[in-house]
């Protein structure tokens, strides 16, 4: 039986925060990041460089979206079940990305997850602040936002499966609120989980360095879409 879910609100870089406005301006992004940390007791001080990166995210997301809408959808040659061209697939290791935007009283932008083999029809994801890494079931659907599935180009089916398995093995770990603390594996934000799945199992680095601070890397979900190492195999519209 085909399962479906409607994508609801995902958080600012998967950081869910409750506020009293429904409009995001670029200059507010830094304050939202700080507020998300403060909501769980983290009193952080950002450097000017960090603030600059956070305030440029809106511009970056426009670039990611424009590319993701214009790039052709390519047949997934590693799909043994031969899903229709551009059709949603449950092949393990496929990366799922959405530009899901503003929800009621919640600030959120993009989200990423990865198809995991531990259960039928699930992705492994880090959903947001105060929530642990989990499995989420059902095909992603949205009538208002774009959803992509992304294949990694130079990996085998087995390597993709291993990446999905690795991500699924992180279920239960806490959420990582530090955008630039990506290489540790004790906690995860959404795109960090996906990045780590391929980095630690196949040695494939899907970070484009769009948001890095020197050696401190930060991975945005849109970097999986606009990436020379990946191919778009599904887009919902």
The string of DSSP codes covering 158-189 is: HHHHHHHHHHHTTTTPPBP--TT--S--SSB-
Q: What is the pLDDT of residues 27-81, one digit of tens each?
A: 466 666 666 666 656 666 788 888 888 888 889 999 999 999 999 999 999 987 6
Q: What is the mean pLDDT of residues 194-199?
A: 99
pTM: 0.83
13: containing domain = 4-235
Dihedral sign for Cα atoms in the order 78, 81, 84, 86: negative
Torsion of CA 105, 108, 190, 93, to 10 degrees: 110
Q: Report the mean per-residue pLDDT for the chain.
A: 84
Residue 178, token pair as written in the block = 């530090």
Domain count along the chain:
1
Write down the pLDDT at residue 39: 60
Higher confidence at residue 13 or residue 10?
Answer: 13
Q: Residue-wise over 11-20: b if at least 16 C-beta within 10 A, else e?
A: bbbbbbbeee
pLDDT greater than 50 at residue 3: no
The Cα-based distances of 34 to 13, 80, 107, 158 in angstroms read 13, 45, 13, 40
């Amino acid at each position: 039986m085909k399962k479906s879910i409607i994508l609801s609100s995902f958080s600012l870089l998967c950081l869910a925060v409750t506020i009293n406005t429904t409009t995001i301006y670029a200059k507010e992004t830094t304050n939202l990041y700080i507020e998300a940390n403060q909501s769980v007791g983290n009193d952080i001080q950002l450097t000017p460089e960090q603030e600059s990166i956070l305030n440029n995210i809106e511009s970056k997301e426009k670039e990611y979206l424009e590319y993701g809408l214009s790039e052709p959808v390519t047949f997934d040659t590693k799909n043994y079940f031969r899903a229709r061209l551009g059709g949603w697939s449950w092949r393990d290791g496929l990366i799922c990305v959405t530009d899901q935007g503003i929800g009621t009283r919640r600030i959120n932008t993009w989200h990423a997850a990865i198809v995991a083999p531990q259960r039928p029809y699930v992705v492994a994801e880090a959903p947001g602040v105060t929530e642990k890494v989990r499995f989420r079931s059902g095909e992603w659907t949205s009538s208002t936002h774009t959803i992509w599935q992304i294949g990694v180009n130079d990996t085998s089916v087995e390597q993709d499966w291993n990446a999905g398995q690795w991500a699924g093995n992180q279920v239960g770990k806490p959420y990582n609120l530090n955008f630039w603390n990506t290489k540790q594996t004790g906690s995860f934000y959404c795109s960090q989980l996906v990045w780590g799945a391929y980095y630690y199992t196949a040695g494939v680095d899907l970070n484009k360095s769009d948001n890095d601070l020197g050696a401190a890397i930060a991975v945005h979900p849109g970097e999986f879409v606009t990436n020379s190492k990946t191919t778009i195999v599904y887009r919902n519209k």
